[in-house]
Amino acid sequence: MKKSRILAEVCAAVMILSLTGCGGNGDTDSGMNGAVTDSRAEAAQVMTSSTEKQGYGQGVEVDDKNRPVGALDFNRKYGGFDATAIGKEGEKIRLTFDQGYENGYTAQILDTLKEKKVQAIFFVVQDYAERNPELVQRMIDEGHIIGNHSVTHRSMPTLTAAECAEEIKGLNRYIEENFGVTPTLFRPPMGEFSELSLAVTKQCGCETMLWSYAYADWNVDAQPDPAEAMSKLVGAAHEGAIYLLHSVSSTNAKILPDLIDQLRAKGFELY
């Protein structure tokens, strides 16, 4: 009876994992029971996860350490899905850039990061990588991290588990085949997610990374005033901050050197 139950659980877990197109994280060398436990847990997380669409924003409320309450709440609620919006207390500030399309400023941004010795994360979609291989290769060569922003920038909670998995694994395959690295961080397009999409992301071997501060920098026809942008970005600084910036922004490219300097002058370290 026990062997039959274990076999049934293995089959159920394999079926769920096959629906997403992602393999389990179990150590098959540890024996059947260990593999069953890990696969069953992963399958159960997908099966029991809500499909309700959520839209993330860090909000304006902060704690006594200037950390956005919305980001802290996200970590508490979704940490079990390997999802984070803010680093731990005492951690450095992380600069991240979403790469939807190229607007001519990424090379300048890379120049600044190299000069200031800062390691950033660039979340790319597949079209960006296909159109700008030299910039992606430069990011890698200069020590930056390539993050996964999906194949086609679709809203993850509107997709099936299998479609979610293909958005993640498809981009990973492209990056692996063309650049020889494997992204392990995923940022859901538009910050939209569900528990199901977070669970699938975890099954696909990626951590979900959102952000603890972002501002309206993406509209190329209505760029923020550089002085106002600097004031907002420096004023929002906190330990473990994850900044979401867009490389299409002329303002970001212009203020980035001074932003790094001012953050360091306030006593913060950057990766």
Active site positions, annotated: 98, 246
- Which residues does 2 contact at the CB level (< 8 Å), separation at least 6? none
- Cα–Cα distances (Å) from 240 to 62, 83, 260, in that order, read 14, 14, 15
- Which residues does 246 contact at the CB level (< 8 Å), separation at least 6? 97, 98, 100, 217, 218, 252
**Bridge partner residues of 241 (DSSP):** none
Give the H/E segment covering residue 126: helix 126-131
Contact 10, 31 (CB under 8 A): no
What is the rounded CA–CA span in Å between residue 64 and residue 126? 40
Contact 156, 189 (CB under 8 A): yes
